[in-house]
Structure 1
Amino acid sequence: MAADLNGRRIAVLATDGVEQVEYEQPRQAVEQAGGQVSLVSVHDGEIQAMNGDIDKGDRFTVDAKVSDVSPDDFDGLVLPGGTINPDRLRIDADAVGFVRSFVQQGKPVGAICHGPWTLVEADVVRGRRVTSFPSIRTDLRNAGAEVVDEQVVTDQGLVTSRNPDDLHAFCSKIVEEFAEGRHRAAAGA
């Protein structure tokens, strides 16, 4: 990951139930490349991370509420998974609008595991090539995406991966996409 992200501001949108490793490793990769990361959530305070769906992980301090920031404040977005996290995000209108705006503006977005669920709710996967955790692939197809089973998939700045086993490839690719910056805005997004 040799890309230089100095001066780049990256939002990680997550809430309670985020898969801890899918939050920590992308954050670390962006910071090691010189980027500034902000944890954006649907509420103030802290979020509870998980290790799988049952075991509680660490708590992380929220930097900003999604209702108080704009995609204009950031150069890229990470959507970590965990089963609970994106399920909670996709029922929050501010979170969904935040995600939709990133894609509409052509800003790079990385989503891993169950993270693409929020992309489905934002209606930004139609005509896009993506991957995800197997249990949400039908949702992605129903939303108009071309779904493949690959370690990491990139479609005009939208980076997706299947699960924590793909984190090395995912982190490398999001850093590369964040360094490249905006892509042309997605048609229909």
Structure 2
Amino acid sequence: MPTVLVPLAQGCEELEAVTIIDLLRRAKITVVTAGLDENPVKASRGVVLIPDTTLDKAIQQDFDMIVLPGGLPGADNLNNDPRIHPLLKKMHQQGKYTAAICAAPKVLAHAGLLANKSATSYPGVLEHMNIPQLQFIAAPVIKDGSVITSRGPGTAIDFALELIATLVGSEIRDQVESALVR
């Protein structure tokens, strides 16, 4: 089964984080949540999340995908963490998937992963950044090669379902979606 790393930063968007974790686990994908330190994560609306491990421990493992929840200041905290950009670049160089939602696509941009790509984000996050050859598309989810981006809390289910389809196929994706009774 594929393995996915979801780094959880203080101030992340809880609806996005929990939706990603929950739906991927429903698809029997191994999800490891990792805090940037050993503390519980207080999300943007005050929900407290308890990560499975720390990022220092998690980066010793191999993952098929890394998914960055958005929210502020969560996306900024991910962007400012000295371990995140090298991790994203390493995964990208290995042909593994990098994904981000809401404000977190800017972390992919700062790591240099959105040049010559199509991507989306929360309104106003990417449009004014000077990203070479970025084609910004205001769609719920954009997949361009091994990079997957999404708009925000309202697109979290669609985003998670795309991650499932990418990792384990459309049949499992459809089974998970059907059980959600959308």
TM-score range relative to shorter protein: 0.7 to 0.9
Q: 2:159 aligns with which of 149, 156, 170?
A: 170
Q: Which is further off, 75-84 or 62-71? A: 62-71
- Return 5+ residue gaps in structure 1 as ranges: 1-6, 181-189
- Return 5+ residue gaps in structure 2 as ranges: 170-182
Q: Which whole-Å CA distance do the structure 1 matches of 2:105 and 2:28 have between them?
A: 26
2:114 is the counterpart of 1:125:
yes
Q: Which whole-Å CA distance do the structure 2 matches of 1:160 and 1:71 have between them?
A: 25
Q: 1:60 aligns with which of 49, 60, 63?
A: 49
2:141 is the counterpart of 1:152:
yes
Q: 1:163 to 1:65 in 2, by over 3 A?
A: same
Q: Which whole-Å CA distance do the structure 2 matches of 1:71 and 1:129 have between them?
A: 30
Identity across matched positions, percent: 24
What code does the residue aligned with 1:137 have? L
Q: Which is further off, 124-133 or 108-117? A: 108-117
Contact 1:90 / 1:96 at 8 angstroms: preserved in 2?
yes
Give, in angstroms, the shift of residue 151 of structure 1. Answer: 1.1
What does 1:35-184 align with in structure 2 at a 5 Å threshold? 35-51=29-45, 56=46, 58-70=47-59, 73-140=62-129, 142-144=130-132, 145-179=134-168
Deviation by residue 1:72-118 (Cα, 9 ceiling, x = unmatched): 52111111100211101111111221122222222122211011121
Q: Which whole-Å CA distance do the structure 1 matches of 2:103 and 2:92 have between them?
A: 18
For the aligned residues, what is the CA RMSD? 1.7
Deviation by residue 1:19-74 (Cα, 9 ceiling, x = unmatched): 000000011111000011111232113111123xxxx1x21122233233337521
- TM-score norm. by structure 2 comes to 0.85
Point out 4+ residue stretches in structure 1 off by more than 2 angstroms: 62-72
Deviation by residue 1:108-165 (Cα, 9 ceiling, x = unmatched): 222110111211221111101100011212355x122211111111001211111111
